[in-house]
Chain A
Amino acid sequence: MGDDGDNIDEFVTELTRVQVDLFYFIRALTGDMHAAMDIRQSVNMVLWKKREKFQRGTSFKNWSFQVAQLEVKNFLRAKRRSRQVAFDEKLLDLLASEFHEAGEELSERRVALSNCLTKLTAKDEELLRHRYWSNATLDVLAERTQRSAGTLKARLHQLRASLRRCIESQLEPERT
Chain B
Amino acid sequence: MIPREEIQELIHDMVDGSISKEDFDRLQAVLLDDAEARRDYLHLTTTDQLLVDNYKHPDLLASHVEPAGDSWTARRLRGRGMMWSLGAAAAILLLGIGVLRMISTPLPPVVLSRSADCRFLIDGMAPEEKVWKQGQQLEVRNGVTLARLNPQTEAFVSGPARLELNKDGDVLLKEGKVFFRVAPGAPDFKVRVAGATVRHIGTEFGIRAIDRGSCEVHVASGSVEIDRADGHPPMELVAGEGAVWMNDQLTEVVEADLRDFHQSMPTEVMVFSDDFSEPKGTRISGKKPDIGEPWRVLGEKNPTTAGAGELDTSGGFRNLTTNFKIEEDLNHKRRVVVLMSFATAPPRILFDKVKRTGGTESITLWDHDGRPICSVVARAKDGHRWRLCDHASNRESEPTRFSALETNELTLRYDTLAGKITLHAGPSAQAESVAEVSTGSDVEAACLTVENNDGGDLALNRLDVQFVNYAEKLPSER
Partner of A90, one of B32, B63, B102: B32
From B92, B146, B151, give the contact of A125 (CB < 8 A). B146
Residue B221, interface by CB 8 Å: no
Looking at the assembled complex, report how far the CB atom of B145 sits from the nearest CB atom of chain A, in whole angstroms.
Answer: 9
Task: Determine whether the beta carbon of B327 is less than 8 Å from that of A45.
Answer: no
Residues of B within 8 Å of A66, CB to CB, are: none
Contact yes or no, B84 A28, CB < 8 A: no
Q: Scan residues 16-66 of chain A and give those whose CB is less than 8 A from a CB of chain B.
A: 16, 19-20, 23-24, 27-28, 31-34, 37-38, 40-41, 44-45, 48-49
CA distance A90 to B31 in the complex (A): 10
Complex contacts, B116 vs chain A, CB 8 Å = 121-122
B114 interfacial contact with A, CB 8 Å = yes
B109 touches A45 (CB 8 A): no
Contact of B113 among A16, A33, A120, A168 (CB under 8 A): A120
Q: CB of A139 within 8 A of chain B?
A: no
* Contact call B265/A163, Cβ cutoff below 8 A: no
Is A87 in contact with B43, judged by CB distance below 8 angstroms? no
Within the assembled complex, what's the spacing in Å between the Cα atoms of A24 and B102? 20
> Which residues of A sit under 8 angstroms from B21, Cβ to Cβ?
85
Q: Which residues of chain B from 312 to 342 have any CB-CB distance to chain A below 8 Å in the complex? A: 327, 329-330
B73: A residues at CB distance < 8 A: 34, 37
In angstroms, Cα B56 to Cα A38, docked, is 18
The range of chain B's interface size is: 35 or more
Task: Type the 1/0 row for A133-171, where 1 means its CB is closer than 8 Å to any CB of B.
Answer: 101000000001111000000001100110110011000
Please state if A20 and B92 are interface contacts (CB–CB under 8 Å). Answer: no
Chain A residues whose C-beta falls within 8 Å of the C-beta of B43 in the assembled complex: 101-102, 164, 168
A176 to B154: give the CA distance in the assembly, Å: 34
The one of A44, A88, A95, A145 that contacts B95, using a Cβ cutoff of 8 Å:
A44
Cβ–Cβ contact A27 & B49, under 8 A? yes
Cβ of B353 < 8 Å from any Cβ of A?
no
Q: Take A40-B64, A161-B44 as given contacts and tell me if A109 and B35 are in contact as well, using a CB distance cutoff of 8 Å.
A: no
Q: Return chain B residues, CB-CB under 8 Å to A40.
A: 64
Q: In the complex, are the beta carbons of B44 and A160 less than 8 A apart?
A: yes
Chain B residues contacting A24 (CB-CB under 8 Å) are: 45-46, 49
Quick one: CB contact mask for B138-157 with A, threshold 8 Å, 1 for yes? 00000000101001101000
Question: Does A122 lie within 8 Å of B131, measured CB to CB?
Answer: no
What is the bound-complex CA distance between A125 and B14, given in angstroms? 22
Work out how many contacts link A and B, with CB atoms closer than 8 A. Answer: 193
B327: chain A residues within 8 A (beta carbon):
146
User: 0/1 per residue, A53-92, Cβ < 8 Å to B?
Assistant: 0000000000000000000000000000000010110110
B408 at the interface (CB under 8 A from A): no
Q: What residues of B have a CB within 8 angstroms of the CB of A19 in the complex?
A: 62-64, 99, 103
Contacting residues of chain B (277-311) with chain A, CB-CB under 8 angstroms: none
Is B65 in the interface zone, CB < 8 Å from A? yes
Does B267 lie within 8 Å of A33, measured CB to CB?
Answer: no
Q: Does B382 contact A (CB under 8 A)?
A: no
Partner of A113, one of B51, B61, B267: B51
Complex Cα gap A73–B12 (Å): 23
Given the interface pairs A16-B98, A41-B92, the reply to whether A122 lies near B54 with Cβ below 8 Å is: no
Q: Which residue of A lies closest to B108 (CB)?
A: A114
Interface residues of B in 130-187 (CB under 8 A from A): 130-131, 146, 148, 151-152, 154, 183
Contact among B55, B108, B114, B129 for A129, CB-based, below 8 A: B55
The verdict on B402 contacting chain A, using a C-beta distance below 8 Å, is: no
In the assembled complex, the Cα of A94 lies from the Cα of B32 at a distance in Å of 8
Give the interface residue-count category, chain A. Answer: 35 or more
Residues of A within 8 A of B39 (CB): 98, 101-102
**Residue from A9, A20, A38, A45 in contact with B91 in the complex, judged by beta carbons closer than 8 Å:** A45
User: Is B51 a contact partner of A163 (Cβ separation < 8 A)?
Assistant: yes
**Cβ B111 vs Cβ A128 within 8 A:** no
Distance in Å: Cβ of A137 to nearest Cβ of chain B: 11
Which B residues lie within 8 Å of A28 (CB)? 41-42, 45-46
Q: In whole angstroms, what is the CA distance A115 to B235 when docked?
A: 41
Contacts A45-B88, A122-B146, A161-B8 known; A102 to B42 CB distance under 8 Å? yes
Tell me if B53 and A110 are in contact (CB < 8 A).
yes
Asked whether, in the complex, the Cβ of B130 is within 8 Å of the Cβ of A118, the reply is yes
Task: Tell whether A85 pairs with B19 under 8 Å between CB atoms, given A118-B111, A146-B327.
Answer: yes
Beta-carbon contacts under 8 Å, B43-76 to A: 43-56, 61-65, 67, 72-73, 76
The reply on A2 being an interface residue by CB < 8 A is no
Q: Which residues of B contact A147 (CB under 8 A)?
A: 267
Interface hits, B1-40 → A, CB 8 Å = 8-9, 12, 14-15, 17, 19, 21, 24-25, 28, 31-32, 35, 38-39
CA gap between A145 and B266 in the complex, in Å: 8
Q: Judging by beta carbons under 8 Å apart, are B35 and A16 in contact?
A: no
A110 touches B54 (CB 8 A): yes
Asked if residues B113 and A88 are in contact (CB atoms below 8 Å), the reply is no
Once the chains bind, are B54 and A117 in contact (CB under 8 Å)?
yes
B38 touches A132 (CB 8 A): no
The 9 closest A-B pairs by CB, nearest first: A12-B98, A132-B55, A102-B42, A85-B24, A157-B12, A133-B55, A125-B113, A164-B47, A145-B267
Pairs across A and B, CB under 8 Å, 23 listed? A16-B102, A23-B49, A27-B45, A28-B41, A31-B14, A37-B67, A41-B64, A45-B91, A85-B19, A87-B28, A90-B32, A95-B38, A102-B46, A114-B108, A118-B131, A122-B146, A123-B268, A126-B264, A128-B55, A147-B267, A157-B12, A161-B44, A164-B43
